[in-house]
Amino acid sequence: MRTCPTLPSLIVAVLIASCERQPVDLGDAGNKFGRGVFVVNEGQFLAANASVSFFDPETDSVHNHIFYQANQVPLGDVAHSMSIWKDDAYIVVNNSGKVYRANRYDMEFKGKLTGLLSPRFIIHMGSGQNSKAYVSDLYSGWLTITDPEKGTVLDSIDLRGSDERFSSEQMILHNGKLYVACWSYGRQIMVIDTETDLIIDSIEVGKQPNSMVVDKFGYLWVLSGGGYPFSPFGQENASLARVNLESHDVETMKIWDDIRVSPTDLCINHRGDSLYFIGEGVYRVSLDMKGFDKALIPENGRQIYSLGVDPEDGTVYIGDAVDYQQNGWVYRFSSGGTAIDSFRVGINPGYFCFSPARQQ
């Protein structure tokens, strides 16, 4: 049989071609996460490569892929935000339609809320039997109210108008009211009474409100990006509005001169007296609206994708997406804009979730 040499030779060929290195496990699992910051790495849309990193400022150490390390399952597609409630971390995985609940100290999976359309943020309130969480959604037109620990849906708030379907984005709880920014093709801040879960008011701000904070005097600051060129919703100049939370009136508004400017990621420092946001670089603005003229932290070739300010010491964290495809970077600056250090995280670091020290 002359066929004999054929098969073995081919197998050899195949084996030689198959010799490639296997990936190496970092062995980070089991690390405990206390005081520090979780970096939510969005990953790429439809690439299912979102991840969570943790940075410990005391030891100056960073741990990447901590959700995967703890659970051996990737986080999913487009992780958008995260919040900490009691001993748990809630990670909103936008394009996987779910919110994961994990132990905040070791990231071990504890439960999940599934069946969502396009969840963006989760915010918790109450205690014991009365605790609940609101989940905002980009497309559904509903705000979901959930039992945070059971992962069950308690109720939903209809945000659909007669001819509109309001998206819900960032949320803030203040004095028993929930303020919900309607970012996508919207210009409202919905006001919800958390006792009754009814919409009691809506505040009109600039187009596409993307982020909000409450300052030390109890004013709500809303940053609106203004939309984008050729948007069917139209584009207008970006604006920063100060809202009186007693009267729900917009009292002051800064409107940018250049329509090409679309600021995002409004943050506030630990003292509640300085606003930070991303424009072309990172700006710091005082409550009397000074500081728009020059960036505190220039872009310097970075693709600034996210911003966070440590609520305990005011340290500024900047996420750099590099090329939006590879692992990104986080840069740390003092509240005055002096560079501290930087570390590498996952793809498209898009959200900072600050974690307080473990309560004894």
Partner 1 sequence: MRKLLYIYIISLLFLAGLPELASGSEADTIHINEVEIVRSSPVHFAPVISADMDTISMNLMAGRSLSELLSFQPAVHIKSAGRGALSTASFRGTDASHTKVYWNGIRMNSPMLGQVDFSLVPVWIVDELSLLYGGSSLKEGSGALGGAVMLEASVDWNKRLGVSLNQEIASFNTLGTYGRLSMGDDKIKSETRVYRNRSENNYPYLNTDIIPRQEQRLDQAAYARVGVLQEIYIRPGKKHEVSVRLWYQEAERDLPPLMSQEGASRVEKQEDQNLRTSLEWKLYPGFGTVLVRSGYAGSRMHYFLHHNSLEYSQFDSRSQENSLYNTIQADVRGGSRTRFQFRTDLNRHDAGIRDLVLDEGYSHLRNEGSLVASAHREFGKRWILYALLRQEWADGKWLPSMPSAGFSYRLFKSNSYHLRGNLSRNYNLPSLNDLYWIPGGNPELRPENSINGDLSVEFSHKMDRFVFKGSLNGFAARVEDWILWKPTRFRYWEAENLATVFSRGMDIQLGSEISLGEWLLTLKASYAYTRSTNEEAVSSNDFSRGKQLIYIPVHASNAYTNLTWKGYFLNWSYTYTGRRYTQPSSEEYDFTESLNPFALNDLHLGKTLNIGRSKAGFRFTVYNLFNVSYQAIRSRPMPMRNYALTLRIAICEHVQLYRH
Contact segment (CB under 8 A) with partner 1 among 2-10, 80-88, 125-133, 171-179 equals 2-10
Q: Using CB under 8 A, which of 28, 29, 48, 254 touches partner 1?
A: 48
| Per-residue interface string for the shown chain with partner 1, residues 92-131, x marking contact by CB under 8 A | -x-xxxx-x--------x--x-xxxxx-------------
Query: Looking only at residues 141 through 160 of this chain, which bind partner 1 when binding is defined by CB under 8 A?
Result: 141-142
**Which C-beta is closer to partner 1: that of 73 or that of 255?**
73
Burial 342-351 (b: 16+ CB within 10 A, else e): eeebbbbbbb
Spatial distance between the Cα atoms of 219 and 286, rounded to a whole number of angstroms: 13
**Token pair of 91 as six digits:** 């990670």
**Which C-beta is closer to partner 1: that of 204 or that of 280?**
280
To the nearest whole angstrom, how small is the minimum distance from the Cβ of residue 221 to partner 1? 20
Question: Residues binding partner 1: what is the number (CB under 8 A)?
Answer: 77
With tokens 């750099």, the residue in question is 320
Query: Looking only at residues 236 through 295 of this chain, which bind partner 1 when binding is defined by CB under 8 A?
Result: 261-262, 264, 280
To the nearest whole angstrom, how small is the minimum distance from the Cβ of residue 200 to partner 1? 24
**Which C-beta is closer to partner 1: that of 128 or that of 301?**
301
Q: Using CB under 8 A, which of 47, 255, 289, 357 touches partner 1?
A: 47
Burial 182-214 (b: 16+ CB within 10 A, else e): bbbbbbbbbbbebeebebeebbebbbbbbbbbb
To the nearest whole angstrom, how small is the minimum distance from the Cβ of residue 283 to partner 1? 13
Spatial distance between the Cα atoms of 323 and 347, rounded to a whole number of angstroms: 9
9 part of the interface to partner 1, by CB under 8 A:
yes
To the nearest whole angstrom, how small is the minimum distance from the Cβ of residue 24 to partner 1? 5
**Which C-beta is closer to partner 1: that of 48 or that of 287?**
48
Q: Which of 177, 101, 94 is nearest to 140 (CA)?
A: 94
Spatial distance between the Cα atoms of 326 and 148, rounded to a whole number of angstroms: 33
DSSP for residue 359:
P
Spatial distance between the Cα atoms of 99 and 79, rounded to a whole number of angstroms: 9
DSSP for residue 129:
G
**Which C-beta is closer to partner 1: that of 168 or that of 264?**
264
| Per-residue interface string for the shown chain with partner 1, residues 319-348, x marking contact by CB under 8 A | -xxxxxxxx-x------------x----x-
Query: Looking only at residues 214 through 233 of this chain, which bind partner 1 when binding is defined by CB under 8 A?
Result: 225, 227-232
**Which C-beta is closer to partner 1: that of 128 or that of 232?**
232
Spatial distance between the Cα atoms of 55 and 34, rounded to a whole number of angstroms: 10
In sign, the C-alpha dihedral spanning 256, 171, 93, 145 is negative
Q: Using CB under 8 A, which of 86, 126, 139, 255 touches partner 1?
A: 139
Query: Looking only at residues 73 through 92 of this chain, which bind partner 1 when binding is defined by CB under 8 A?
Result: 73-77
Contact 190, 202 (CB under 8 A): yes
Instruction: Give kind and range of the element (H or E) at residue 9.
Output: helix 6-18
140 part of the interface to partner 1, by CB under 8 A:
yes
